[in-house]
Amino acid sequence: MAVDSGSSSDAEPQPTRQKARQRAQHWMTKGGLVREDSDDELGDEDHPWDWIYAIEDEKNEETKASPEKSSRRRTSRVAKKKPIGARMGSFECRIGDIVLLKSPEAGKDWVGIIVEFVEEEDDDAEGEMIKSASIMWFASPDEFLSTRNKRRQDALPNEQYLTADFNTNPLYSISGKATVMSKDAFFAKYPNGAPPKGNAELAEYNKSIVCRRGVNQVQGRYTDEFVWEEVYREDNIYELITMVKEGLKAARKRKAADADFTETKEESVAPTTPRKKQRVASNATPRSQRKKALTTPTHKRIVVKKPLEFTPLGTRVLSQDHFASPYRQARTLLHVSTVPESLPCRKNEFNEVYNHLSAAIMEGTGACIYISGTPGTGKTATVREVVAQLNAAVEAEEMDDFIFCEINGMKITDPHQAYSMLWKELKGDRVSPSHALDLLEQEFSHPSPRRVSCVVLMDELDQLVTKNQSVMYNFFNWPALRHSRLIVLAVANTMDLPERTLSNKISSRLGLTRITFPGYKHTDLMEIIGTRLANVPGNIVDPDAVQFASRKVAAVSGDARRALDICRRAVEIAEQEAEEAAAADLIIPEEDEENPLQRLARHLPVAIMQLLLLPKPGKAKAGRVTISTIKQAIQEATSTPLQQSLRCLPLSGKLFLAALLARIHRTGITESTFGDVLDEARRIADAAVAVAGAAGAGVKDFLLGGGSSARVRSLGFAAMELMNSGVLALEQGAGSKSLLGGSTIPARGDRSSKIRLRVAAEDVRLAFREDLEAKGFGLGIDQ
């Protein structure tokens, strides 16, 4: 075939070989072909890449077919011509060639087949086009990122599997050519597969790979064996692609059939979350959503990374509590830390999040979903359930594998730690936040042959707001990068946090998908509580009481957490009443000492007595949750003298306590230092400004204005007041000097003073939940 080198490229900016090598270092991750001669075949000379076209052939054919029209046709063909190869100096590669591409690890190269040549916009230089090739990848057995233990145990020396994964890479990443052969051909050339002696022979051996199967590495599925020389034709690469795709499809069907056979016709179970019939709006409901075995999938899960800590709803097994007293069961089920069996009233939100996530994972694209809603509207619960269901679909091999990373703004002391956490999940390495940021930048801005999607849940996003918003910006920006496969689920209380903190211009460019969780209506809350209590025996909660609590909460906030708390407290009150009633019933007169039933009753645990006594028909309502029990619970929750006095604190006192609560929540330790609380207070005030805009700025000026010494003094005074009134215990650090009214104020250099609460953290939280000012200080008080 006659060929024609394109020369249009000469004018275009081309990366130099040296620069190309440096840039290639950034790209890819691990694995590949180990080559002791890491030098590439292209030499050190800087030559531009030129396209090779098959124009002469076309010309000849056209002339033969219709000589008179050939000139006009040629013009239009030339305009649309597609390169069939590329040349750099004396090195040439064509469509169908098997090439090596540089990986960051010295001496290791990736192997792929050139499928097409294209020009793509340069990631490193906006607006510039760069000559690139679409590559169909081979995968070596040690590269199976998230399905490592699905890899075959029968791998041969130099064996790689052909994937049906493609992506586009700049030509300057190409470093040479490889040879692929069948098992027999390889062993005929290299007896026993052993490396030969002699440098040149060894270099050739290192560039020779055995390929006898295709693989879908994220699902750990393989095609049947094939003979490379029979299936590979460089001039018909599409046949090979079809063969691999069909082979993988057949493997999938085979696995599904095997699974159905071994499942011994387990009963199919309706989807459990949200409990109602159909979970996904589309007709193509994933199989795992239609049919689910009654086991937690975690025992089957094959994970290299940390296993997910939650199990899909409805697959959880009954705990010990199932056999406890009805009160204890009710208390446990109503506790906010209990993962409910289903999430009523969140069907639409569940579907929306599920569909976005599953589409992004299956298409290998990035996505950024911004989920907002006031506290207690089920945002976190819904997202976790979606991830658990997706995980179940991965188990059932209906979904490509993905990595999951949860970052909670409340649980990290410095927002920049988010970078280290993400890198740790992606690669398993612990690195400093600044190093992690560099690595993530490189990772997401360059193609990697076999990147697995990563879903990041950024909960309590408000807490990650930093001064220059860089953390939030980066996490919102990376999903938009072509190669990132990063799916960010950002969860926050306010709808417009991105606009407020990143400016309208940037946030609209980011193209977030927004999902808003509305507050629950009273009927929703009734359903949520009713569903949780559905299996509790003894009918201990009046439906009227549930309705009353639901109405009360819906009127103020629509917060399921609050409704659950109130009902749980009401159950506690009813339980005390039941115990008192049981004790009264069990006062056994002296003369009846010998009554065997009464003797037995005296030795029974109170819980069993409650069980026996509760459903007594016609008995007074002692021990049942009624409207008046709910009223009592609400009253108690909000109006103890302590809570009333906490609500009367000056703003600086409330900020100080909110900061201390946030520290306690974050660290899990009840004690903190003055310095840490101070830093937390500053962050809370910054976040309040971001969230509340101008109104928040007033708060900030009032509290934190006047320089850092004034700030320390204002919060120092607040701490002292709290200590005097018995709310705080403050243990002076070494550097303190100032004394005022007998109490010590932590001085500027005295950040080490230890501080702890002398009242229950829950009391402070409850008091502040009802307080408009303190509510603005964020999520620490909502937990």
Ligand X SMILES: Nc1ncnc2c1ncn2[C@@H]1O[C@H](COP(=O)(O)OP(=O)(O)OP(=O)(O)O)[C@@H](O)[C@H]1O
Residues binding ligand X (CB under 6 A): 336, 340, 343-346, 373, 375-381, 493, 528, 560-561, 564, 779, 782
**Shortest Cβ 666–ligand X spacing (Å):** 14
φ, ψ at 129 (rounded to 5°): -95, 150
For residue 732, which amino acid is it? Q
Nearer to ligand X, 520 or 548 (CB): 520
Nearer to ligand X, 771 or 782 (CB): 782
Minimum distance, C-beta of residue 332 to ligand X, in the bound complex (Å) = 12
Least Cβ distance, residue 343 to ligand X (angstroms): 4
Q: Distance between CA 522 and CA 555 in Å, rounded?
A: 8
DSSP-assigned letters across all residues of 467-533: TT-HHHHHHHHGGGSTT--EEEEEEES-TTHHHHHHHHHHHHHHT-EEEE-PPPPHHHHHHHHHHHH
Return the ∠ at Cα 576 (arms to 575 and 578), rounded to 5°: 60
Here the tokens at position 646 are: 């906490």
Selection from 97, 76, 78, 77 nearest residue 86 by Cα = 97
Nearer to ligand X, 53 or 517 (CB): 517
Q: Where are the alpha helices (DSSP H) in 586-673?
A: 596-603, 606-613, 627-638, 641-647, 651-667
Nearest residue (beta carbon) to ligand X: 378
Judged on CB neighbours under 10 Å (0-12, 13-18, 19+), 597 is: exposed
**Which residue reads 């879908």 in tokens?**
216
Which tokens go with 650?
Answer: 């000056």
Strands (E), 334-377: 367-372
Shortest distance in whole angstroms from residue 359 CB to ligand X: 23
Instruction: CB nearer to ligand X: give 407 or 564.
Output: 564
Taking the complex as a whole, how short is the minimal distance between the CB of residue 562 and ligand X, in angstroms? Answer: 9
Contact 577, 635 (CB under 8 A): no
Q: What is the 3-state secondary structure (H, E, C) of 558-595?
A: CCHHHHHHHHHHHHHHHHHHHHHHHHHHCCCCHHHCCC
Give Dmax over CA atoms of the chain in angstroms.
Answer: 127
**Is the CB of 405 or the CB of 614 nearer to ligand X?**
405
Query: Shortest Cβ distance from residue 629 to ligand X (Å)?
Result: 21
**Closer CB to ligand X, 466 or 493, in the complex:** 493
CB of residue 318 to ligand X, shortest distance in Å: 18
Q: Least distance to ligand X from the beta carbon of 477, Å?
A: 24
Nearer Cβ to ligand X (557/673): 557
Q: Which is nearer to ligand X, 88 or 560 (CB)?
A: 560
Q: Percent helix, strand, coil in the chain (nearest 5)?
A: 50, 15, 35
Closest approach of ligand X to the CB of residue 336, in Å? 4
Instruction: Report the distance separating Cα 214 and Cα 667, nearest Å.
Output: 48
Q: How far is the CB of 460 from ligand X (least distance, A)?
A: 6
- In the numeric block, the tokens 């025992």 are attached to 299
**Nearer residue to ligand X within complex by CB, 169 or 550:** 550
Q: Which is nearer to ligand X, 408 or 501 (CB)?
A: 408
